[in-house]
Amino acid sequence: MRPAGAPTLKDVARAAGVSVMTVSNVVNDRPRVGPETRARVLDAIADLGYEVNLTARRLRAGRSGTVAFVVPRVDHPYFGQLGAQLTTALRASDRHLVIEQTNASKEGELGALSQARLQMYDGVLLSVVGLAPDDVDRLQTQLPLVLLGERPMPPRFDHVMLGNVDGARLATAHLLARGARRVAIVGGTLDDDPGVSGSRTQGWREAHAAAGVPVDERLVLPAPWLEAAQGRQAVDDALARGLDLDGVFAVTDQVAIGAMAALQDHGRTIPGDVQVVGFDALALGEHVWPGLTTVDPHHELLVEHAVRLLDLRTAGEDAPPEQIVLPVSLLERGTTR
């Protein structure tokens, strides 16, 4: 039950079943709290909508000119490229971007939001991975917040999503139209997954259905972290056990680059023996050989919408939250015929 009025440290401590000192250690990001206790406190902070006094004082004083970009991993090329584009867009209005890493965990994402309140960011762009829809629905924050992510979320906050299903359908249809009939999806999943792997597997299936080509589920090759090394290992294992394939749709460009390395390790020519399409239009794809055909999810539109929505909420506009799915297109290079 939420207390009347603004929640206090004592309210958070009572809800989490810990001492006030423990709550203070968590909100000040001190290292002396165990992970389970920290997660319990962060859940209580989110449930109660606790705001530290420092934030309130700074809000009265004015804005900080700083926006937080909360991402699963700082070292991932996708988030590095997106962060650079956001930095350029915010600089035009004399604002700065601060990047926080969550390690794709619920605790990390809740912690970043708590730190955002403490450090007085003007707003947060949150790449949602660890938080489930129910967690997002329970968030209580006065800070302007725009979600960036692949899974559908409750429409309480603005949310900008990539065209995952459309892009995967476009990539797979491109391969099928160029004669491929055994198209593996590297980084796909057979699970009921609403995230990147699941939505892009859905598009892969839909393209096969539209072309009248049967789906062979043995061609679904998981790569859970969507990294180049996993893409390489998945394709290497598949070829070693004799799996027949003449096309690869990789759910990210990094996975595609790993898959290409494995194909070349096994003496397969690209695109002669196997055609390859990636997803993300990373700059790196221009510099591999052959150049990587890829789905362009139009990051420039993601940045444009994210900054626009953040500005809208920062200005206090009472417009309904927007749920935006970006368009996609195909960049044809040398990995397809």
Domains defined for the chain, CATH in brackets: 1-50 (1.10.260.40), 64-162+301-328 (3.40.50.2300), 164-296 (3.40.50.2300)
Would you say 72 and 79 are in contact if contact means Cβ atoms under 8 Å apart?
yes
Quick one: average pLDDT of 55-74? 73
Query: Is residue 96 helix, strand or coil?
Result: strand
Confidence at residue 118, expressed as pLDDT on a 0 to 100 scale: 59
Find where tokens 């290497």 sit: 236
Would you say 145 and 156 are in contact if contact means Cβ atoms under 8 Å apart?
no
Closest CA to 248 of 119, 160, 335: 335
Q: 53, exposed or middle or buried, with CB in 10 Å at 0-12, 13-18, 19+?
A: exposed
Quick one: average pLDDT of 56-68? 65
H helix and E strand count, the chain: 12, 12
**DSSP structure class, residue 223:** -
Distance CA 83, CA 312 (A): 20
Q: Percent of the chain at pLDDT above 70?
A: 93
pLDDT tens for residues 271-301?
999 999 999 999 999 999 999 999 999 999 9
Confidence at residue 53, expressed as pLDDT on a 0 to 100 scale: 56
DSSP secondary structure string for all residues of 92-123: TTT-EEEEEE-TT-HHHHHHHHHHHHHHT-SE
275-279/247-250 β-pairing: parallel
pTM greater than 0.85: no
Query: Is residue 180 helix, strand or coil?
Result: coil
Angle CA(121)–CA(126)–CA(132) in degrees, nearest 5? 135
Would you say 229 and 237 are in contact if contact means Cβ atoms under 8 Å apart?
no
Distance CA 179, CA 193 (A): 29
Quote the tokens at residue 29: 């990001």
Find where tokens 């055909």 sit: 293
When comparing pLDDT for 232 and 151, which is higher?
232
333 pLDDT exceeds 90? yes
Task: pLDDT band for 61, please (50, 70, 90 cuts).
Answer: very low
Quick one: average pLDDT of 223-233? 94
Residue-averaged pLDDT of the chain: 90
Quick one: average pLDDT of 220-231? 95
Mean pLDDT is highest, among 40-49, 117-126, 186-195, 285-294, for 285-294
1 pLDDT exceeds 70? no
Quote the tokens at residue 297: 């999810």
Would you say 143 and 117 are in contact if contact means Cβ atoms under 8 Å apart?
yes
Find where tokens 């500005």 sit: 311
171 pLDDT exceeds 50? yes
Strand blocks (E) in the chain: 66-71, 96-101, 123-127, 145-148, 158-161, 183-186, 220-221, 247-250, 275-279, 293-296, 323-325, 329-331
Q: 138, exposed or middle or buried, with CB in 10 Å at 0-12, 13-18, 19+?
A: middle
Would you say 279 and 168 are in contact if contact means Cβ atoms under 8 Å apart?
yes
Confidence at residue 57, expressed as pLDDT on a 0 to 100 scale: 45
Confidence at residue 64, expressed as pLDDT on a 0 to 100 scale: 76
